[in-house]
Structure 1
Amino acid sequence: MTSPAFYPIGTPGQPWGGADVAVWRSRQAVRRSYAAEVASLIETLRARFDVSDYGRLDYPSGSYPLFAIKSRDWRDELPIALVTGGVHGYETSGVHGALQFVERHAAHYAGRINLLVAPCVSPWGYERIHRWNPDALDPNRSFRADSPAQESAALMRLVAPWRERVRMHIDLHETTDSDESEFRPALAARDGKPYEPGTIPDGFYLCADSANPQPAFQQAVIAAVAKVTHIAPADPDGTIIGSPVVAHGVIEYDCRKLGLCAGITDAPYRTTTEVYPDSPRATPAQCNAAQAVAVCAAIDYALAHGAG
């Protein structure tokens, strides 16, 4: 059943034009600081890691440097682990979980695997606590050739030299109550489609790549995170966010077909995390820790099981 949920921008049944996007963009206010909350933390890591700008987003509302954190002892013969966060800028633990992993756990992997971490792919969205970029584009549906999203294109350029050498890629995300209250209604309005209400899963889950699901890898991550926070149960119809649950806490997407970040490399082990920060059973600290633990478990599995 669909609902003609009201959204205050655009004409129902018609995709947005440029004027609608401009109205939407004018309503997006800065609510937190990328420089103070993210870039400043990255600066503190320069003493122990190689930190570089891999691009810059230039928008009329501001300019944002994009940071990558690399192992200082990078060795070409070692495999590569790629960690991405903040592809959806509003998903806070994706950003801060990635930084927590670097701060507290990355040193454990020195000399064993090369680490490449892009902790905040979408700083404009981070500041405005939004899923989209200022062009009303979802970066996590835009990882494809000639991407219209600056955020996606910049990350793909960063990763391109190592795409075939990445052994593990974990992309850190959240599913929030605002997905239903704001972002899915906005998406329906933007595309001129009826809004179809959904449910928000209470707990952590993973999205595997249906092209190479690696179920044992996914379950190793789930088992580690279950020690930190609860795993989302399936809805009564056996789905999570409308996708069939294929194993405890795991659904699957075709990452490359959908233009998802998890599909940008040929890594044999790849996954997308989803935590639920609005749960009464989880704190922000738990969400950050769950993301960091997921990264560790994913790397540990990739190291123990070679090239898959």
Structure 2
Amino acid sequence: MNTAPAHYPIGTPGKPWGNLEREEWLSQQTKHRSYETDVMSVIDRLRKNFDVEQYGSLNYGSESYPLFAIRNRDWNDDLPIVLVTGGVHGYESSGVHGALQFIEQHAAGYAGKVNLLVAPCVSPWAYERIHRWNANAIDPNRSFREDSPAEESASLLRLIAPIRDRVLMHIDLHETTDTDDTEFRPALAARDGKFSEPCDIPDGFYLVDDTENPQLEFQQAVIKAVEQVTHIAPSDDKGEIIGSTVVSRGIIQYPLKQLGLCASITNARYKTTTEVYPDSLKATPEQCNAAQIAAVCAAIDYALMRK
């Protein structure tokens, strides 16, 4: 069933947005939660056991948002590097809180085994507004490329530039929500002067592998761990999830670099994007966070066994 609006309320159908439409869109964005309260306060608690680095700052109008990354103490250049990113899409809450809870609950167990680098909330402006885009109506997760138009993406690229070739595993934590179909896809179509088609939102967890460097056994190991916590998304009648062919239960593939996705930013052998479904009647917010944590731990464990 098509739950998306017949016409997005901003812009003229078939005509890309100009400055006026973007300004109208921005004027409608309001804060629903606090980055300082929800995220920065947790990061402050972590400072006693981890190194916290400010790697950039977002400045939108009168508002400024510091960007933070967390590293283990006693960084050892002889150990492999694991990168965890969350909140690239600010509205995908379990990516942010799953990353932070992973550090609090499990990071100490990897001491002396890996170097951990975690950027838990890449898009804090969007986190506060429960949105996919930044304040310029740009999707950071289509902007991880040189001369990026999104400062969220450009800042993270600068952070990882010195270690890009040394990362063993990168896991990027995301969600697929009902609002992808009711709000964000229609908004994208309106912004670009296109027309939106309804899309079936899968009920359950799934992963996105890299078309150019598929690592199916790695993805399957993560699925096996996560299904102990929450259910795995089934394929639809076409054998697809979100319009892409299912290559194994709960696993699809995207050309990560071509699409400018966050999971493409290193040359890691093992990389994946998680997709949790927080709107499911079968899952609680706590389960969604736990699914992200289980995915991170399973991904690290597999990578260490196969390094």
> Which TM class, normalised by the smaller chain length?
over 0.9
Letter in 2 for 1:73: D
The aligned counterpart of 2:98 is 97
Letter in 1 for 2:59: D
Q: Distance in 2 between matches of 1:204 and 1:115?
A: 24
* 1:278 equivalent in alignment to 2:279: yes
Q: Determine helix, strand or coil for the equivalent of 1:273.
A: strand
Taking only aligned residues, the RMSD between alpha carbons, in angstroms, comes to 1.2
The aligned counterpart of 1:143 is 144
The aligned counterpart of 2:40 is 39
Q: Distance in 2 between matches of 1:73 and 1:304?
A: 22
TM-fit CA distance, 1:5: 2.1
Letter in 2 for 1:57: L
In the TM superposition, 1:89-238 aligns within 5 A as 89-238=90-239
Per-residue CA deviation, residues 203-246 of structure 1 (Å, 9 max, x unaligned), is 00000011111000000000000000000000111100000001
- Aligned residues of 1:82 and 1:166 also touching (Cα < 8 A): yes
Q: Determine helix, strand or coil for the equivalent of 2:290.
A: helix
- Aligned residues of 1:4 and 1:195 also touching (Cα < 8 A): no
* 1:253 equivalent in alignment to 2:254: yes
Q: Determine helix, strand or coil for the equivalent of 2:209.
A: strand
Per-residue CA deviation, residues 33-80 of structure 1 (Å, 9 max, x unaligned), is 000000100100001100110000011041000000001021001100
- Aligned residues of 1:204 and 1:249 also touching (Cα < 8 A): yes
In the TM superposition, 1:54-73 aligns within 5 A as 54-73=55-74
- Aligned residues of 2:91 and 2:127 also touching (Cα < 8 A): yes
The aligned counterpart of 2:265 is 264
- Aligned residues of 1:203 and 1:279 also touching (Cα < 8 A): yes
TM-fit CA distance, 1:277: 0.3
Letter in 2 for 1:196: E
- Aligned residues of 1:169 and 1:270 also touching (Cα < 8 A): yes
Listed as ranges, the gaps of 5+ residues in structure 1 are none
* 1:304 equivalent in alignment to 2:294: no
Letter in 2 for 1:179: D
Letter in 1 for 2:7: F
- Aligned residues of 2:5 and 2:186 also touching (Cα < 8 A): no
The aligned counterpart of 1:27 is 28
Letter in 2 for 1:30: K
Q: Distance in 1 between matches of 2:129 and 2:62?
A: 11
Per-residue CA deviation, residues 69-122 of structure 1 (Å, 9 max, x unaligned), is 001021001100000000000000000000010000000000000000000000
TM-fit CA distance, 1:4: 8.1
- Aligned residues of 1:5 and 1:194 also touching (Cα < 8 A): no
Letter in 1 for 2:28: R
Letter in 1 for 2:160: V
Q: Distance in 1 between matches of 2:42 and 2:101?
A: 10
Q: Determine helix, strand or coil for the equivalent of 1:78.
A: coil
Q: Determine helix, strand or coil for the equivalent of 1:103.
A: helix
- Aligned residues of 1:55 and 1:65 also touching (Cα < 8 A): yes
- Aligned residues of 1:144 and 1:259 also touching (Cα < 8 A): yes
Q: Distance in 1 between matches of 2:304 and 2:284?
A: 30
Per-residue CA deviation, residues 155-212 of structure 1 (Å, 9 max, x unaligned), is 0000000000000000000000111110001001001101111010000000001111
Q: Distance in 2 between matches of 1:20 and 1:173?
A: 28
Q: Distance in 2 between matches of 1:257 and 1:283?
A: 34
Letter in 2 for 1:97: G
Q: Distance in 2 between matches of 1:208 and 1:100?
A: 24
Letter in 2 for 1:217: F
**Identity among equivalent pairs (%):** 69
Q: Determine helix, strand or coil for the equivalent of 1:186.
A: helix
Q: Distance in 2 between matches of 1:301 and 1:218?
A: 9
Q: Distance in 2 between matches of 1:188 and 1:4?
A: 12
- Aligned residues of 1:45 and 1:103 also touching (Cα < 8 A): yes
- Runs in 1 of length 4+ with deviation above 3 angstroms? none
Q: Determine helix, strand or coil for the equivalent of 2:165.
A: coil
- Aligned residues of 1:4 and 1:194 also touching (Cα < 8 A): no
Query: How high is the TM-score relative to the length of structure 2?
Result: 0.98
Per-residue CA deviation, residues 240-287 of structure 1 (Å, 9 max, x unaligned), is 000000101000000000000000000000000000000000000000
